[in-house]
């Protein structure tokens, strides 16, 4: 059973970049990676039950004594901070509870990885699995970037969206966002460099001595092409720190040359990224360029409706113009556009404003939407209009389109054409991502609204819009900072417990550094030093524990690296 658990753990690590959603990303419980987590944890729990029946409490005491005295209390306090913050959340308590349960699951993954690694057989193999998964992701991403059809199809199987900056296509490979790709690819790069250290002294594994440098080079190039400044900057700082810490333990001339080469490559990539961002700018149409913002029902991607019927809707309208929209003189309306014929229907009024809407303010409006009499697939676009004679639609007041399937029969699926429009509209909505500065300000204002326990774990994405000049339109937007996300979600208690846990992780890693004697052990600790350094640094500018691959990688790596009983080298 232990061997099966180890194999499932290798599969988890290799599958990190390849999370396939059986339904949609919004229904995120239905994914291949979450199924792997359930199988792995179920197998490990059965293993511990069997060991407990044979060894009694000894099996659990051995696991408890594998850590420093303060690490498990720190972990427990962090878990409790998330659970209590979720229990006392004033809004969206169910969402906060799911986030707290996810933290508990991460802690169980941590214990399982630590338990499996206590015999010292797991480190090098997990590094190999991580390096190979990063290599595959890098190959697919680079192939997609080169517009090779096969690689494009492979990437679209997991994530069909494109992301751009200054006309440059951002590499995301099979992962949900370029930032997540950058985080996973940097971990794969650290694993490849650590494996170079481990295999360099011997001559019996020549194919490995060629494989790991090639993997590191491809991962570094893919990392640069994500245009994730946070991931790349954190990787550079982490490599500098890890290489300086281990400069006495590996062949100096060769290793210094390898380390210097990759640092030069990454720093050149950072210079190129900074040039792209500051010279080229961001190619996106921000919300300030439109006079209106739309949220709630007007921010949906698709609808399934019946022909010739009236539907009551509630939309959120934001005024980003310098003009006051007076009640009774302004309203919201809509227009239907048939997808096949491109014929546009006459403009129809949805509702008049029942209150003045000042510049910078938002207003929820009850509207009546009437569907076309004929079946088909349509685009629905909302507008703001002025009730002159005739009514005049305000320029640049249109909403992103909504793809609507109008059928007499319930259900159904969208055609390929309609699905393509959904993809384009989703990409358009991603252009409305606020700046980091405004997100950080919203996180601090959320924190001040409930400073002790916050507004609930993972509730920032549901509540941030109240503290920013944006509509309630995209629940995928996070605080773009690990520490501010935790601070807003679980208050000063949550942030303090997170920092304590991270400090204990760092001290445990330092202990592993002192007791590492064999080349493989040092290679694992080198990887851990680089990964942990990149994690805490990248966390200043991004939050990625919301995403299962990054979340899982963190807990598995911490379990592998914080077990002080790992003293025997593996026998490959």
Q: What is the pTM of this model?
A: 0.75
Give the C-alpha distances (Å, rounded to integers) separating 548 from 40, 109, 111, 256: 15, 12, 17, 35
The answer to whether residue 435 is domain-embedded is: no
Q: Considering 430, 454, 477, which residue would you say is the last residue of a domain?
A: 430
* Co-location of 274 and 321 in the same domain: no
Number of folded domains that form the chain: 2
Please tell me whether residues 413 and 501 are part of one structural domain: no
| pLDDT (tens digit per residue) in 61-75 | 666 666 778 898 999
Per the rule left: phi > 0, alpha: psi between -120 and 50, beta: everything else, 260 is alpha
> Are residues 398 and 330 part of one domain?
yes
Q: How far apart are CA 366 and CA 478, in angstroms?
A: 28
Please check whether residue 193 lies inside any domain of the structure.
yes
Residue 386, exposed/middle/buried by CB under 10 A (0-12, 13-18, 19+)? Answer: middle
**pLDDT greater than 80 at residue 568:** no
Alpha-carbon distance of 332 to 318, in angstroms, equals 11
Pair (198, 293) in one structural domain? no
Instruction: Name every residue whose Cβ is closer than 8 Å to that of residue 497 and which is 6 or more positions away in sequence.
Output: 74, 77, 78, 80, 81, 490
* Residue 296, CB-side half-sphere exposure with 13 Å CA sphere: 13
Residues 364 and 295 in one domain: yes
Domain shared by 233 and 336, yes or no: no
Residues 543 and 485 sit within 8 Å (Cβ to Cβ) = yes
User: Is residue 508 one of the residues assigned to a domain?
Assistant: yes
CATH number of the domain that 349 lies in?
2.60.40.10
CB 197 within 8 A of CB 250: yes
* Res 206: pLDDT: 63
Contact present, 188 and 135 (Cβ < 8 Å): yes
Q: Are residues 260 and 299 in the same domain?
A: no
Question: Do 276 and 296 lie in a common domain?
Answer: no
Ranges 29-43, 170-184, 191-205, 453-467: which has the least confidence: 191-205
* One domain for residues 323 and 277: no
Please report which residue ranges of 56-122 form alpha helices under DSSP H.
Answer: 58-64, 71-87, 93-116
- Check whether residue 74 and residue 164 sit in a common domain: yes
Parent domain of 376: 288-430
- ω into 390 cis (within 30 of 0): yes
Asked, for residue 480, whether it belongs to a domain, the answer is no
Whether residues 183 and 234 fall in one domain: yes
Q: What is the pLDDT of residues 81-108, one digit of tens each?
A: 999 999 999 888 999 999 999 999 999 9
State residue 532's pLDDT score. Answer: 95
Q: Of the candidates 430, 460, 478, which is a domain's last residue?
A: 430
pLDDT tens, residue by residue, 367-413: 999 999 999 899 999 999 998 767 788 887 888 889 999 988 766 77
Evaluate the CA torsion angle 133, 139, 142, 146 in order and state its sign: negative
Q: Does residue 113 belong to any structural domain of this protein? A: yes
Q: State mean pLDDT over 150-165.
A: 82
DSSP per-residue codes, 80-92: HHHHHHHHT-SS-
- pLDDT, average across residues 222-240: 93
Identify the DSSP state of 533: H
Give CA–CA dist 464/471, Å, rounded.
Answer: 10
Q: Are residues 242 and 363 in the same domain?
A: no
Indicate whether 346 belongs to any domain: yes
Residue whose token pair is 């640092």: 263
Domain boundary residue, one of 375, 402, 430: 430
For residue 355, being part of any structural domain is answered with: yes
Local confidence band at 531 (pLDDT 50, 70, 90 cut-offs): very high
Q: Is residue 486 part of a domain?
A: no
> Please, which pLDDT band fits residue 572 given cuts at 50, 70 and 90?
very low
Q: At what angle do helices 2-14 and 548-561 cross, to 10 degrees?
A: 130
């Amino acid at each position: 059973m232990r061997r099966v658990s180890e194999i499932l753990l290798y599969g988890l690590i290799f599958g990190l970049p390849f999370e396939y959603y059986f339904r949609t990303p919004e229904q995120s419980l239905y994914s291949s990676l979450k199924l792997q987590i359930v199988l792995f944890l179920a197998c490990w729990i059965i293993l511990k039950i069997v060991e407990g029946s044979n060894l009694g409490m000894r099996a659990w005491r051995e696991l408890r004594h594998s850590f420093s005295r303060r690490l498990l209390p720190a972990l427990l306090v962090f878990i409790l901070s998330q659970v209590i913050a979720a229990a006392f959340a004033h809004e969206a308590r169910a969402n906060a509870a799911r986030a707290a349960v996810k933290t508990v699951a991460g802690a169980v993954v941590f214990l399982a990885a630590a338990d499996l690694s206590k015999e010292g057989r797991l480190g090098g193999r997990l590094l190999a699995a991580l390096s190979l998964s990063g290599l595959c992701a890098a190959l697919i991403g680079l192939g997609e970037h080169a517009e090779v059809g096969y690689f494009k199809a492979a990437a679209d199987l997991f994530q069909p969206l494109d992301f751009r900056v200054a006309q440059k296509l951002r590499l995301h490979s099979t992962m949900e966002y370029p930032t997540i790709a950058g985080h996973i690819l940097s971990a794969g790069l650290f694993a490849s460099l650590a494996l170079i250290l481990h295999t360099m002294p011997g001559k019996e594994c020549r194919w490995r001595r060629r494989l790991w440098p090639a993997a590191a080079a491809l991962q570094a190039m893919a990392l640069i092409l994500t245009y994730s400044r946070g991931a790349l900057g954190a990787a550079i700082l982490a490599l500098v720190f890890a290489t300086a810490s281990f400069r006495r333990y590996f062949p100096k001339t060769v290793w210094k040359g390898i380390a210097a080469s990759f640092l030069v490559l990454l720093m050149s990539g950072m210079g190129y990224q900074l040039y792209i961002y500051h010279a080229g700018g961001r190619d996106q149409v921000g919300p300030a360029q439109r006079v209106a913002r739309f949220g709630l029902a007007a921010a949906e991607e698709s609808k399934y409706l019946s022909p010739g019927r009236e539907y009551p809707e509630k939309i959120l309208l934001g005024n980003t113009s310098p003009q006051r929209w007076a009640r009774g003189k302004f309203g919201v309306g809509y227009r239907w556009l048939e997808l096949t014929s491109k014929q546009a229907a006459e403009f129809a009024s949805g509702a008049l404003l029942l209150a003045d809407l000042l510049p910078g303010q938002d207003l929820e409006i009850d509207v009546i939407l009437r569907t076309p009499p004929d079946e088909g697939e349509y685009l629905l676009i909302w507008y703001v209009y002025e009730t002159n004679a005739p009514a005049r639609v305000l320029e640049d007041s249109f909403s992103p389109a909504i793809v609507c399937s109008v059928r007499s029969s319930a259900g159904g699926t969208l055609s390929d054409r309609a699905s393509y429009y959904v993809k384009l509209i989703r990409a358009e909505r991603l252009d409305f991502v606020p700046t980091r500065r405004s997100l950080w300000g919203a996180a601090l204002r959320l924190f001040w609204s409930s400073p002790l326990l916050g507004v609930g774990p993972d509730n920032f994405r549901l509540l941030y819009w109240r503290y920013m000049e944006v509509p309630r339109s995209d629940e995928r937007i996070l605080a773009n900072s690990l520490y501010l996300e935790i601070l807003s979600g679980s208050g000063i208690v949550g942030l303090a417990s997170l920092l304590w846990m991270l400090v204990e992780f760092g001290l445990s890693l330092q202990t592993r550094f002192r007791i590492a004697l064999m080349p493989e052990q040092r290679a694992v600790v080198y990887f851990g030093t680089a990964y942990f350094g990149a994690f805490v640094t990248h966390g200043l500018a991004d939050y990625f524990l919301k995403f299962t691959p990054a979340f899982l990688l963190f807990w598995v790596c911490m379990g592998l690296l914080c077990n002080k009983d790992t003293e025997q080298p593996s026998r490959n």
